[in-house]
Homo-oligomer: A and B are copies of this chain.
Amino acid sequence: MEKVTIATVAQRAGVSRQTVSNVINTPDVVREETRERVREAISALGYRVNQAARQMRTGRSRLIAVRIEPARDGINGSVLDRFLHGLTDAAGLAGYRVMLYTADGDDAEIATYDELLNAYDLDAFVLTSTHHGDPRTSWLAARDVPFVTFGRPWGAPETHSWVDIDNAAGTAAATEHLLAAGHQRIGFLGWPAGSGVGDARREGWHRALGPWGPVGEATDGVESGAVAARKMLQNDPPTAIVCASDSLALGALQAARELGRECAVIGFDDTAVARAIGLTSVSQPLAEAAGRCMDLLRELLDGHAPSHPTNVLLPPSLVVRQTA
């Protein structure tokens, strides 16, 4: 099988290289008849544009990079994985490919940006797990590298486009669901203050519930959640608990069972665990979030960049199962 280049196609169609290139990139400048002839040659030969060669001229690689994180907790790690699935799909449809990298910490990640940009001419980055004082966005912005974040820029000035889930709306919906079911004493089990996501989830619960409610704090994880939930259930027992994650919710369920208490529990993220054990949970529209990220990237990449950044806030949905 010979190598098929633009020259092969040109010869077969009886035109020059440039005309073939035009058919591919700017079809409207080529006469109808010629265009068809070239298109025919292209498909007859099974020609595909060589990205490396194109990239060398245009400086564009049609590659976007995403960090894949070491599966931490294992329960919540799957959220990013599902986002990644969606992004790969969306990118594929838009003619882009996703490249992965790992990095241990923000500084290492920035070093990786530098390498990827130089070596592979990456077109853009999608950042996940944004957090307070995130140095990555400013580094990229300073170099005019196109990027989008999945997660809003907590605290930082909003100089770039982002997509995020409306976390507060999620816990608010969960709380309202409980209120509608007749619960009045509804607690919240979350992470220590300071993480943007965690604070937003607490805020949603607070907004829907009003003034009162017992609050428990725990670092993420089943054990830690069980400890905090036990304390809540013993002191000022609520009849229902809204949790900041499925891990915490699982802990809460364990604690309630141990203490023999009836207690409704709602988790967050709708992970596989929730589905498996029938835990009611708030579900993030990850595929849509990924699709929107890709849309924003295309705006940035395919010319017509909007002068000011776009933000997308997606509402999560409540998946009701047995626990509430």
Contacts and interface: CB of A to CB of B under 8 A. Distances in A.
A84 B250 CA distance: 27
Contacts of A121: 50-52
A7 to B, nearest CB: 14
A139 interface: no
A281 interface: no
A102 interface: yes
A69 B48 CA distance: 25
Interface residues of A, number: 51
B102 A99 contact: no
Interface in A8-60: 46, 48-53, 55-56
A239 interface: no
A271 B196 CA distance: 28
A1 B101 CA distance: 25
A97 B250 CA distance: 37
Contact of A119 (B50, B73, B74): B50
Interface stretch (A75-83, A151-159, A211-219, A311-319): A75-83
Contact of A85 (B70, B119, B271): B70
Contacts of A4: 118
Nearest to A143: B1
A204 B88 CA distance: 37
A100 interface: yes
Interface stretch (A130-138, A181-189, A272-280): A272-280
Q: Which of A63, A74, A81, A272 has the most CB of B within 10 A?
A: A272
A309 interface: no
A108 to B, nearest CB: 11
Contacts of A277: 250, 273, 277
Contacts of A56: 50, 52-53, 56
A224 interface: no
A88 B75 contact: no
Interface string A81-119: 110110011001000011111100000000000110011
Interface of A: 1, 4, 46, 48-53, 55-56, 61, 63, 68-71, 73-75, 77-78, 81-82, 84-85, 88-89, 92, 97-102, 114-115, 118-121, 143, 222, 247, 250, 271-273, 275-277
